[in-house]
């Protein structure tokens, strides 16, 4: 039954996309985020669904879409440069076979991110992309939120509908993305022209925000708790009564403690003792190895260069809960850990170890310049009337906050090439270009001015 639904839905998207090419773009976004081929039992497993929608989006745009304006900004150029750099690093990778496997999907993420701003040239299309991103991720978040509310979830045991541990089906990644979606949900509830504000929209958005907040609880991902704290701090900027907001947030946080699973609170408590947490200690050891590695190989080692690491370090045990500990030791004792081939567990060190200092510099430019541009748009439009572009400030705020949450979460998970993040960047580029066109049209003087002669 599930397979028939996916086939019918994707078939309808393809048919509609033949008449409205932009729907092919939205279809690819859905396929890339949800990966229905991984949820299918047999009908979609052998069909290149992603490739079909990607080709449909590109061909439809080339042949049928209007091209009154073309957007190619500095950040698209930076992504193109990163794409070329990754290609050459793959050709000279430390582990060629593994690097080629990762390159096979990384190039698609970067190419689509470069292409996407060319297609989203109006407010309607920008909001359609934001809505599709939100609803696609919501299809995973709502199911996970219901399971969390019913069973409490657990670290590594929450069923996310797919056995795949990639993309949004990886627990820490889903927790980070879920929290970064909340600014989008709040923006669309107030400003969407696709689903105009009403009580049903507000009810759905409120329930979806609650489901997003449940994801860090259900997955027990410590990254999610850090992202919630970051979002809470950023929202201080928008509230009219910050002191009341702080007290309300503190009260809700304390009031929710009795309802949280014991395993969740104990796992979060391990954040207080880094040396006693093997997961955190291993990450620090991998990061130290990466810094030593790029000291010798400043251009990086290509994709999956972490496979060459090996290290030995001492860690102190703790009496607190550690679900990852394979052996129980005496509390407070010192143990020696020897490990090798451990992943970077950080997008920053992932870029540094794989693409070296140049790759990390390009990646940081792509994200930090986007944050700067969104801040400029926010300051320019936040005091304007609704008909004079005030919505641009709201969307710029949502994109900025979502990007900051991603960058904070990315410090602890290897998501340097997460397609969701690059779609955020594409929306930033499109919004920036749309704002420039809006200003030109707003200040444009007519060529002919009719003079009124008094009677």
- Does residue 398 contact residue 186 with C-beta atoms inside 8 Å? yes
8-22, 85-99, 117-131, 396-410: segment of lowest average pLDDT: 8-22
pTM, full prediction: 0.88
- Greatest distance between any 2 Cα atoms in the chain: 101
pLDDT tier at 455, thresholds 50, 70, 90: very low
Lowest mean pLDDT among 12-16, 45-49, 345-349: 45-49
| pLDDT more than 90, % of the chain | 37
Q: Tokens at residue 410, please?
A: 């990315």
pLDDT band with cut points at 50, 70 and 90 for residue 183:
very high
Rounded to the nearest 10 degrees, how much is the dihedral formed by the CA atoms of 324, 329, 333, 334?
-60
What integer pLDDT is reported at residue 443 of this predicted model?
Answer: 72
Q: Tell me the two tokens of residue 159.
A: 């069923």
Residue range 41-58: mean pLDDT, rounded: 80
Mean pLDDT of the chain: 83
In degrees rounded to 5, what are phi and psi of residue 311? -155, 165
For residues 349 and 247, what is the distance between their CA atoms, to the nearest angstrom? Answer: 37
Chain centre distance of CA 221:
16
**Across 281-290, average pLDDT:** 85
Residues forming beta bridges with residue 314, ordered by sequence position: 336
CB 80 within 8 A of CB 114: yes
**230-250 pLDDT, tens digit each:** 998 888 887 777 777 777 777
115 pLDDT tier (thresholds 50, 70, 90):
very high
What is the rounded average pLDDT of the residues 115-140?
91
Alpha-carbon distance of 143 to 256, in angstroms, equals 21
What is the distance between the alpha carbons of residues 180 and 406, in angstroms, rounded to a whole number? Answer: 7
**Any idea where the domains of the chain sit in the sequence?**
274-340
C-beta of residue 420 within 8 angstroms of C-beta of residue 116: no
Residue 260 clears pLDDT 70, i.e. is over it: no
Mean pLDDT comparison of 44-53, 71-80, 365-374, highest-scoring range = 365-374
DSSP result, 259-325: GS-HHHHHHHHGGG-STT-HHHHHHHHHHHHHHHHHHH-TT---TTGGGG-EEEEEEE--SS--TT-
Dihedral angle of Cα 49, 52, 55, 58, to the nearest 10 degrees: -70
Kindly state the average pLDDT of the residues 357-383. 93
Asked whether the predicted pLDDT for residue 421 surpasses 50, the reply is yes
Mean pLDDT (whole number) for 368-382:
93
- Beta carbons within 8 Å of 224's beta carbon, 6+ residues apart: 172, 175, 176, 178, 179, 215, 216, 217, 409
Measure the CA dihedral 10/16/22/26, to 10°.
-20
CB within 8 A of 147, min separation 6: which ones? 153, 158, 159, 218
Q: What is the pLDDT of residue 258?
A: 62
> How far is Cα 284 from Cα 273, in angstroms, rounded to an integer?
13
- Give dist(CA 2, CA 43) in Å, integer: 10
DSSP-derived secondary structure for 181-208: HHHHHHHHHHH-SSS-S-HHHHHHHHHH
Helix (H, G, I), strand (E, B) or coil at 141: helix
Task: Give the pair of three-digit tokens for residue 305.
Answer: 């260069």
The CA angle 213-217-221, to the nearest 5 degrees, is 105
Residue the block writes with tokens 């541009």: 373
| Euclidean distance between CA atoms 37 and 319, whole angstroms | 43
Look at 155 and 444; give whichever has higher pLDDT: 444
| pLDDT tens digits, one per residue of 24-43 | 999 999 988 988 877 776 66
Specify the pLDDT at position 446: 56
Q: Say which range, 82-91, 98-107, 277-286, 422-431, has the weakest mean pLDDT.
A: 277-286
Distances (CA, A) of 282 to 275, 335, 409: 10, 13, 18
Closest by CA position to 420, among listed 182, 112, 188: 112
pLDDT for 432 equals 93
Distance CA 108, CA 92 (A): 20
Stretch 108-131: mean pLDDT:
92
**β partners of residue 313:** 337
The per-residue pLDDT for 331 is: 55
Cα–Cα distance, 31 to 54 (Å, whole number): 10
CB-based contact 21:57 (threshold 8 Å): yes
């Amino acid at each position: 039954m599930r397979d028939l639904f996916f086939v019918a839905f994707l078939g309808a998207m393809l048919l509609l996309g033949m008449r409205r090419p932009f729907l092919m773009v939205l279809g690819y976004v859905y396929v890339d985020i949800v990966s229905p081929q991984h949820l299918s039992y047999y009908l979609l497993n052998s069909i290149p669904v992603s490739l079909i929608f990607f080709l449909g989006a590109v061909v439809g745009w080339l042949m049928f879409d209007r091209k009154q304006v073309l957007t190619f900004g500095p950040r698209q150029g930076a992504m193109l440069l990163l794409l070329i750099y990754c290609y050459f690093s793959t050709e000279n990778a430390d582990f060629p076979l593994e690097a080629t496997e990762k390159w096979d999907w990384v190039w698609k993420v970067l190419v689509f991110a470069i292409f996407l701003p060319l297609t989203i040239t109006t407010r309607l299309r920008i909001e359609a992309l934001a809505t599709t991103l939100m609803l696609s991720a919501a299809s995973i978040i709502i199911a996970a939120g219901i399971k969390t509310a019913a069973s409490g979830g657990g670290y590594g045991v929450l069923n996310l509908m797919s056995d795949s541990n990639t993309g949004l089906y990886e627990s820490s990644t889903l927790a980070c993305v879920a929290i970064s979606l909340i600014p989008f949900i709040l923006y669309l509830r107030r400003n969407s022209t696709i689903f105009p504000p009403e009580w049903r929209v507000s009810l759905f958005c409120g329930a979806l925000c609650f489901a997003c907040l449940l994801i860090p609880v259900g997955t027990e991902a410590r990254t999610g708790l850090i992202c919630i704290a970051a979002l809470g701090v950023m929202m201080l900027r928008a509230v009219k009564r910050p002191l009341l907001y702080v007290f309300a947030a503190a009260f809700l946080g304390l009031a929710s403690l009795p309802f949280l699973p014991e395993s969740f609170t104990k796992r979060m408590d391990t954040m207080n003792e880094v040396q006693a947490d093997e997961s955190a200690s291993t990450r620090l050891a991998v990061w130290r190895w990466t810094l030593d590695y790029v000291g010798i190989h400043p251009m990086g080692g290509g994709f999956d260069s972490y496979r060459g690491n090996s290290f030995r370090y001492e860690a102190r045990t703790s009496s607190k809960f550690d679900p990852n500990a394979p052996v129980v030791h005496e509390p407070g004792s010192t143990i020696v850990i020897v490990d090798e081939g451990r992943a970077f567990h950080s997008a920053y060190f992932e870029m540094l170890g794989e693409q070296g200092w140049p790759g990390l510099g390009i990646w940081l430019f792509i994200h930090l310049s986007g944050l700067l541009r969104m801040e400029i748009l926010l300051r320019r439009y936040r005091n304007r009337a609704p008909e004079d572009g005030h919505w641009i400030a709201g969307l710029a705020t949502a994109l900025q906050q979502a990007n900051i949450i991603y960058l904070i979460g990315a410090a602890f998970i290897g998501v340097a090439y997460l397609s969701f993040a690059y779609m955020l960047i594409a929306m930033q580029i499109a919004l920036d270009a749309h704002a420039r066109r809006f200003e030109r049209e707003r200040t444009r003087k007519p060529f002919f001015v009719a003079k009124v002669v008094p009677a």
